[in-house]
Amino acid sequence: MQFGIFTVGDVTPDPTTGRTPTEHERIKAMVAIALKAEEVGLDVFATGEHHNPPFVPSSPTTMLGWIAARTERLILSTSTTLITTNDPVKIAEDFAMLQHLADGRVDVMLGRGNTGPVYPWFGQDIRQGIPLAIENYALLHKLWREDVVDWQGRFRTPLQGFTSTPRPLDGVPPFVWHGSIRSPEIAEQAAYYGDGFFHNNIFWNKEHTQRMVSLYRERYAHYGHGTAEQAIVGLGGQVFMRRNSQDAVREFRPYFDNAPVYGHGPSLEDFTEQTPLTVGSPQQVVEKTLAFRDYAGDYQRQLFLMDHAGLPLKTVLEQIDMLGEEVVPVLREEFAARRPAQVPDAPTHASLVARREAGAAAGAPGATA
């Protein structure tokens, strides 16, 4: 199972000091967080994509390329790449280039984002969000698997004899996660292709998460990719930790109360009861995260949001130290002990290359699908 960090890259005032970091400081902080994630033994760093204040990560592959040059093990991903407003040709090129630079330590999470105005900024209509996601990914999937592509669809000019360059490393495209919190059509899309499904359940109750993940698992099996239990699932989570749970609550409360995404709404206590947010001791984080398995089944990737709402970098790095030293080692052991033998590990470039080679040796069609 893979554990890691995802960031949305918000530039938010620290409610305890009133100070707002500059964009430069925030970008550098995101890099520092990625480096710390590798230092403490985490597996994945993922950055969001946003094109509006108060967010800064408008060019994820630029940032991930810089991080790739400064890390050795870390899998680099997004959370999410906007499949609706980015040209699939450019996504194919950018992530194949990043894949080569990072020696395969790359996958991609595709989604529609949560900012409506981004559609007209990039010449699209939000009312076509789902059809755009479906058509654009069909083209991206084809671009990574066919050397010469002819294409005609509704939302972009046709392609004739087009070759996307560079070609994917070792002939194997980056693994794709389809991220969605509310759209069954995206769960269906992930299942159809046999890709991963990432449910970022940080704002949702377990019943909603269970419905979405169960739908994906059922349809994954329907399309013949394996059993429902073998479907590739990732989950989000939010944590804030101190050795003493009362200290964690006291320190995090002003950040929660003023956060742009959920401030001035439900109380911290209500939110932690109803959603995966955990504010407390490392042991409480372990217990609540292990409980995700009860309603999502055995899954392959767990990403935590830890650097939002104006939390200072020093505090975030302390949180990552605790996550890597006290939480993730226990979670690895416990999840591994409970996972049935038939449940696969999270895909990596090496495992995908091995699967393609095994399929080619066996003469299996579509071994790189």
- Reported as half-sphere exposure (CB side, CA atoms, 13 A), residue 66 has a value of 12
More confident residue, 153 or 362: 153
Cα distances from 245 to residues 126, 156, 314, in angstroms, run 43, 53, 19
Please give the pLDDT value at position 9: 93
Identify the H or E element spanning 68. helix 60-68
Average pLDDT over residues 137-156: 97
Q: What is the DSSP string of 121-186?
A: HTT--GGGHHHHHHHHHHHHHHHHH-SSEEE--SSS--EEEE--SSPPGGG-PPEEEEE-SS-HHH
Tens of pLDDT, residues 176-195: 999 988 899 999 999 999 99
Whether the per-residue pLDDT at 363 is higher than 80: the answer is no
Q: What is the pLDDT of residues 262-274, one digit of tens each?
A: 777 889 999 999 8
- How far, in Å, CA of 70 to CA of 37, rounded? 12
Give the model's pLDDT for residue 204.
78
Instruction: Quote the CA–CA distance of 108 and 179 in Å, as a whole number.
Output: 10
Predicted confidence band at 305 (pLDDT cuts at 50, 70, 90)? very high
> What are the boundaries of each domain within the chain?
2-362
Res 119: pLDDT: 81
Instruction: Report the pLDDT value the prediction gives residue 114, as an integer from 0 to 100.
Output: 66
Q: What is the pTM of this model?
A: 0.94
Determine the pLDDT at residue 364.
56
The model's confidence at residue 355, banded by pLDDT at 50, 70 and 90, is very high
pLDDT confidence bin for 123, thresholds 50/70/90? confident
For domain 2-362, which CATH number applies: 3.40.190.10, 3.10.20.600, 3.40.50.150, 3.20.20.30?
A: 3.20.20.30
Strands 159-162 and 149-151: antiparallel
- Per this entry, what is the length of the chain? 369
Tell whether the model's pLDDT for residue 366 goes beyond 90. no
Residue 196: enclosing H or E segment and its boundaries? strand 196-199
pLDDT of res. 113: 72
| pLDDT above 90 coverage of the chain, percent | 83
Mean pLDDT computed over 228-252:
97
Spatial contact of 182 and 211, defined as CB atoms under 8 Å apart: no
Strand 278-280 and strand 233-241: the pairing is parallel
Indicate the range of 10-24, 151-165, 333-347, 350-364 predicted with least confidence. 350-364
Q: What is the pLDDT of residue 368?
A: 42
pLDDT recorded at residue 66:
98
Please give the single-letter amino acid code of residue 123.
Answer: G
| Omega within 30 of 0 (cis) for the link into 340 | no
pLDDT at 341: 95
Residues 84-105 have pLDDT tens digits of 989 999 999 999 999 999 999 9
Structure tokens at 243: 């050795």
**For the chain, what percent of residues have pLDDT higher than 70?**
98
Residue-averaged pLDDT of the chain: 94
Instruction: Report pLDDT for 102.
Output: 98
Tokens matching residue 193: 């292709």
Res 182: pLDDT: 83
pLDDT at 369 over 60: no
